Chains A and B, each alone.
Chain A
Amino acid sequence: MIIWQFSEQAYHPAFQVPGAMRVTLPQHHCEPNEAGRLLNRYLDEYMLADELGLNIMVNEHHAAATCMSTSCMTTLAILARQTSKARLLALGIPLANRSNPLRVAEEIAMVDALSGGRLEVGLVKGAAYELFMSNRQPTGFMDRFWEAHDLILAALSNQGDNFSWEGEYFHYRTASLWPRPIQQPHPPIWMTASSAGSARGYGKLGYTCATFLSGAVARSVFTGYREAYAETHGRQPGLDRLAYLALVACASDRPTAFRRAEAMKSYFTTAARLDPQYRNPWGFNPIEANVRMLQAGSSAMRPRMRNGKPLPVDGTIEEYMDAGLMFVGTPDDVYEQLARFNEETGGFGNLLMMGQAGELDHADTTDNLTLVGREVAPRLAELTEVPLDIRYEAVG
Chain B
Amino acid sequence: MATDALEELDFGTMSMLDVLGTKIELFTAGDGPSLLFLHGIDGIEGSAALLRELSRDFTVHAPSHPGFGSSDLPKSLNRVDDLGYFYLDLIDVLELDRPVIVGTSFGGWVAAEIATKASERISRLILAAPFGLRTADRREQHVADIFMLSRQELNIRLNRQEPPLSALPEDRLRRAMRNDEALSLYGWTPYMHNPKLADRLHRIACPTLIAWGENDAIIGPAYRAAYAAALPGADVAVIEAAGHRLHADRPEALSASITAFAGRQQDRIQA
Identify the A interface with B (CB < 8 A). 132, 135, 137-140, 275-277, 281-284, 287, 290-291, 294-295, 297
B209 to chain A, nearest CB (A): 30
Residues of B within 8 A of A281 (CB): 147, 184
By beta carbon, the residue of chain A nearest B191 is: A135
Residues of B within 8 A of A287 (CB): 174, 177-178, 181
A278 to chain B, nearest CB (A): 8
* Known contacts A282-B180, A282-B184, A297-B166; A291 and B173 CB within 8 A of each other: yes
* Known contacts A290-B177, A291-B173, A295-B173; A283 and B185 CB within 8 A of each other: yes
A168 to chain B, nearest CB (A): 9
Asked if B166 contacts A138 (CB within 8 A), the reply is no
By beta carbon, the residue of chain B nearest A136 is: B189
A24 CA / B94 CA spacing, docked (Å): 48
B228 at interface, CB cutoff 8 A:
no
Chain B residues with a Cβ closer than 8 Å to the other chain, count: 22
Cβ 8 A contact of A283, one of B165, B174, B188: B188
A132 CA / B78 CA spacing, docked (Å): 20
If A137-B188, A290-B177 are given as contacts, then 16 extra A-B residue pairs at C-beta distance below 8 Å, sorted by A number, are: A132-B148, A135-B188, A137-B185, A139-B181, A277-B147, A277-B148, A277-B151, A282-B180, A282-B183, A283-B181, A283-B185, A284-B184, A291-B173, A294-B166, A295-B166, A297-B166
A281 CA / B184 CA spacing, docked (Å): 8
B4 to chain A, nearest CB (A): 13
Residues of B within 8 A of A135 (CB): 188-189
Cβ contacts B57-74/A at 8 Å (1 or 0 each) = 000000000000000000
Asked if A276 contacts B150 (CB within 8 A), the reply is yes
Asked if B180 contacts A277 (CB within 8 A), the reply is no
B1 to chain A, nearest CB (A): 11
A225 CA / B149 CA spacing, docked (Å): 38
A287 CA / B165 CA spacing, docked (Å): 13
Residues of A within 8 A of B148 (CB): 132, 277
B7 at interface, CB cutoff 8 A:
no
B170 at interface, CB cutoff 8 A:
yes
30 cross-chain CB contacts under 8 A: A132-B148, A135-B188, A137-B185, A137-B188, A137-B189, A138-B184, A138-B188, A139-B78, A139-B184, A139-B188, A140-B185, A276-B150, A276-B151, A277-B147, A277-B150, A277-B153, A281-B147, A282-B181, A282-B184, A283-B184, A287-B174, A287-B177, A287-B178, A287-B181, A290-B177, A291-B170, A294-B173, A295-B166, A295-B173, A297-B166
Residues of A within 8 A of B170 (CB): 291, 295
By beta carbon, the residue of chain A nearest B151 is: A277
B158 to chain A, nearest CB (A): 14
Asked if B147 contacts A282 (CB within 8 A), the reply is yes
A294 CA / B177 CA spacing, docked (Å): 10
A37 CA / B122 CA spacing, docked (Å): 66
By beta carbon, the residue of chain B nearest A293 is: B166
A84 to chain B, nearest CB (A): 44
* Cβ-closest 3 pairs across A and B: A283-B184, A282-B184, A282-B180
Cβ contacts B131-174/A at 8 Å (1 or 0 each) = 00000000000000001111101000000000001100010011
B134 to chain A, nearest CB (A): 16
A282 CA / B188 CA spacing, docked (Å): 9
Residues of B within 8 A of A277 (CB): 147-151, 153
A140 CA / B184 CA spacing, docked (Å): 11
A139 CA / B67 CA spacing, docked (Å): 12
Residue from A275, A276, A281, A294 with most neighbouring chain B CB atoms (10 Å): A294
A132 CA / B145 CA spacing, docked (Å): 11
